[in-house]
Copies of this chain bind each other. A is one copy, B any other.
Amino acid sequence: MKNISERQLERFPIYLKYLLTLSNDNENISAPMISRALGFSEEQVRKDLQVVTSKEGKPNRGRNKDELISDIQKFLGYQNIDNAVIIGVGHLGKAFINYSGFKAFGLKIVAGFDIDNNIVGTKINNIEIYDLNDIEKTLPLLNVKIAILTVPGEVAQEITNRITEIGIKAIWNFVPTHIDVSENVVIENVNLASSLAVLSHKLNLKEKGE
C-alpha cells in the first residue's frame, strides 16, 4: 500500500457515507459527481478513489457504485470487527455505550470501566460495566486492543499507562489533555476544543465582514 496521509484517510468515510445514501437509480458514479456533492475538487476525488479501488475507472462512465462502496469498506477494514472498551463511563462514555452505530465502522464495544459503584456491575445497552480499579484482572480476558478514553483529564495519563501495560495497543482519546504513549501504542486525539476554535474563528471572520 502506498503511503497515505491522515488528511486523505479522513475523506474515505465521507465518500462512503455519501455513496451509501445514494439511491439505487444510478449504477455508476463518477469523480465529478462526488466532487459536486461533497465540495472536494475533482482531481482530489479522482486521486483518492485510485488509492482504494482495485479496477480502473472507465472514461465517460466512472465506476460501479457498489464495487466502490465495497472497496472503501474493505480499505477501512469495516468488515472485520475489532473489540473495544470504554474507559470512563461518564456522560460521554455513556453516550458511546448507548450508540450502536460504531459496529458499522468495524468497532464492537464489549465492556465499560468506571470507578462509580452505582454503575459497576450493571449493564448499559447490554454492555457490562466493570470496576476500573480491577482492570488489570478483567481487561486481559476480553481480547481487546482498542480503548476509548473518556475519563477526567487528571487521571488520563495514569490510566493510559495502566491499560497499555496490559495489552491495549490503540487509544481513541476524547480527553482534552496531551497523553504520552510508548512506541508500540498508537493514539488518536479527538479534541472538541480545537474543533470549536475553528468554528468560532470562521464565525468571527464572517461577522467581521470577510
Distance in Å from the Cβ of A48 to the closest Cβ of chain B? 13
A100 to B69, CA, bound (A): 39
Q: Across the interface, do A98 and B91 meet the contact criterion of CB distance under 8 Å? A: yes
Q: Within 8 Å of chain B (Cβ to Cβ): is A37? A: yes
Q: Across the interface, do A200 and B106 meet the contact criterion of CB distance under 8 Å? A: yes
Q: Within 8 Å of chain B (Cβ to Cβ): is A184? A: yes
Distance in Å from the Cβ of A96 to the closest Cβ of chain B? 8
The secondary structure that dominates the A interface is helix
Distance in Å from the Cβ of A20 to the closest Cβ of chain B? 10
Count of chain A residues with a beta carbon within 8 Å of a chain B beta carbon: 58
Q: Within 8 Å of chain B (Cβ to Cβ): is A155? A: no
Q: Across the interface, do B17 and A178 meet the contact criterion of CB distance under 8 Å? A: yes
Q: Which of A1-46 contact B (CB under 8 A)?
A: 4, 6, 9-14, 16-18, 21, 37-39
Contact flags A183-205 to B (C-beta < 8 A → 1, else 0):
01011101111111111111110
A10 to B191, CA, bound (A): 9
Q: Across the interface, do A178 and B6 meet the contact criterion of CB distance under 8 Å? A: no
Most buried by B among A16, A187, A203: A203
* With contact pairs A190-B192, A195-B190 given, residues A202 and B172 touching in the complex (Cβ less than 8 Å): no
* With contact pairs A13-B176, A178-B38 given, residues A77 and B193 touching in the complex (Cβ less than 8 Å): no
* With contact pairs A17-B176, A169-B203, A178-B38 given, residues A197 and B95 touching in the complex (Cβ less than 8 Å): no
Most buried by B among A99, A145, A192, A206: A192
Residues of A within 8 A of B (CB): 4, 6, 9-14, 16-18, 21, 37-39, 76-77, 82, 91-92, 94-95, 98-99, 102, 105-107, 145-146, 153, 169-170, 172, 176-178, 184, 186-188, 190-204, 206-207
Task: List 16 interface pairs A-B (beta carbons < 8 Å), by A numbering.
Answer: A4-B201, A6-B198, A9-B198, A10-B198, A12-B194, A12-B197, A38-B178, A91-B98, A102-B196, A105-B193, A145-B203, A169-B206, A170-B203, A188-B195, A188-B198, A188-B202
